[in-house]
Amino acid sequence: MSGHHHLDPSAGDARVVWAVVANLGLTVAQIIGGILSGSLALIADAIHNLSDALALVIAFMALKIARQPANEKMTFGYGRAEIVAALINYTTLIVIGLYLVYEAVLRFFNPEDVDGWLVVIIAVIALAVDLVTALLTYSLSKQSVNIRAAFLHNVADALGSIAVIIAGSLILLYDWRLVDPLVTLMIAGYILWQSFSEIVFVIHILMLGSPTNFNTKDVFDRMLSIKGVADVHNLHLWKMQEHENALDAHVVIDTGQWKNADEIKKEVKSMLSSSFKIRQTTLEVECSFHACEEPKAIGHNTIVRDNHYDHSH
């Protein structure tokens, strides 16, 4: 998949596998600790850690699927498997965040007894594992929205472990049980804020939204400015995957310039690649005498429009 900044296959895979192993080990430790201490909070945190492990498994599988070449059934390839995985992970994070809010509110009215020492000790171990897992996936998360979703699972977990340590300490020192639901609400707020802000980007890609790092009108105007181009219409801009932009459009060649149509098309493609990093380009070239009648600047419905970019579409 040219143009797509995939993660380094070997290093990325190894890191994700170790992160999964670490999270599964932590889940087992927390469940045992939760049963021994009678702490529902630790068992809930264990379930959250299990969701981390599953998030990483989904991310790992998506990475593998995304590398598959295009075929007759999937002519665009499998790159969007990562985007779908990110959508699943962010959705589960939102559900977990809302569940934590619900649990925290209940605990304000009914604070529970907790074995503070055991909770703090296991939370410290959990924090260490969360930090190691976050370090394993941090550099990868910068390149992939899919891994970023899994990374945010871990960041939320690390914050959860810190909160449990603080809450456990305050319960030990002052018997202040309301700190547990209070800190839980803060963590839930962070999880929801991060998840909602990231899921908007994921949905934008799945809905074939235009790339957000440049303006569609600028692309339109730059295409029109190339010598020999009389008009541009039926313009579509979208993201194939997180790092791969695509465009298709009809380009009308000026009267008397048809003999240069191939050169003009080549120049348009070159400009799109160098100025906007749009390397997946399909251009339909039309002569000025046989151009589409009353076309739409953006999209493909036939409507009456002015000569250039129509802001209302």
Residue-wise pLDDT for 57-83, tens only, equals 777 787 788 888 889 998 888 888 878
| pTM, two decimal places | 0.72
Beta-ladder partners of 243: none
What is the percent of the chain where pLDDT is above 70? 85
Assign 229 a pLDDT band (cuts: 50, 70, 90).
very high
Give yes or no for residue 3 having a pLDDT over 60: no
> What does the pLDDT read at residue 308?
47
| Contact partners, residue 157, CB within 8 Å, separation at least 6 | 45, 48, 49, 52, 126, 130
Report the mean per-residue pLDDT for the chain.
Answer: 79
Q: How many CB atoms lie within 10 A of CB 311?
A: 8
The pLDDT score that the predictor gives to residue 38 is 61
Q: What is the C-alpha to C-alpha distance for residues 170 and 181, in angstroms, rounded to an integer? A: 13
pLDDT score recorded for residue 8: 46
- With beta carbons less than 8 A apart as the criterion, state whether 111 and 219 touch: no
**pLDDT greater at residue 218 or residue 134:** 218
Q: Of the ranges 2-6, 41-45, 74-78, 115-119, which is most confident?
A: 74-78
pLDDT in tens, 140-163: 777 776 677 777 777 877 877 887
In the chain, pLDDT over 90 holds for what percent of residues? 20
Q: Which two tokens stand for residue 313?
A: 């579409």
pLDDT reported for residue 40: 62
Tell me what pLDDT residue 309 has. 44
Nearest to 116 by CA among 183, 160, 164: 164
> What pLDDT score was predicted for residue 271?
95
Average pLDDT of the residues in 23-47: 75
pLDDT of residue 6: 38
Rounded distance between C-alpha atoms, residue 177 and residue 127, angstroms = 21
* pLDDT, tens digit (0-9, with 9 covering 90-100), for 274-306: 999 898 999 999 988 878 877 888 877 544 344
Helix/strand/coil percentages in the chain, nearest 5: 65, 10, 25
Of 21-35, 49-63, 67-81, 200-214, which gets the smallest average pLDDT? Answer: 49-63
State the amino acid at position 69 in one-letter form: P
If you average pLDDT over residues 37-43, what whole number do you get?
Answer: 66
Confidence of residue 311 (pLDDT cuts 50, 70, 90): very low
What domains does the chain contain, in order, with CATH numbers?
Answer: 9-206 (1.20.1510.10), 208-313 (3.30.70.1350)
Question: Quick one: average pLDDT of 176-189?
Answer: 76
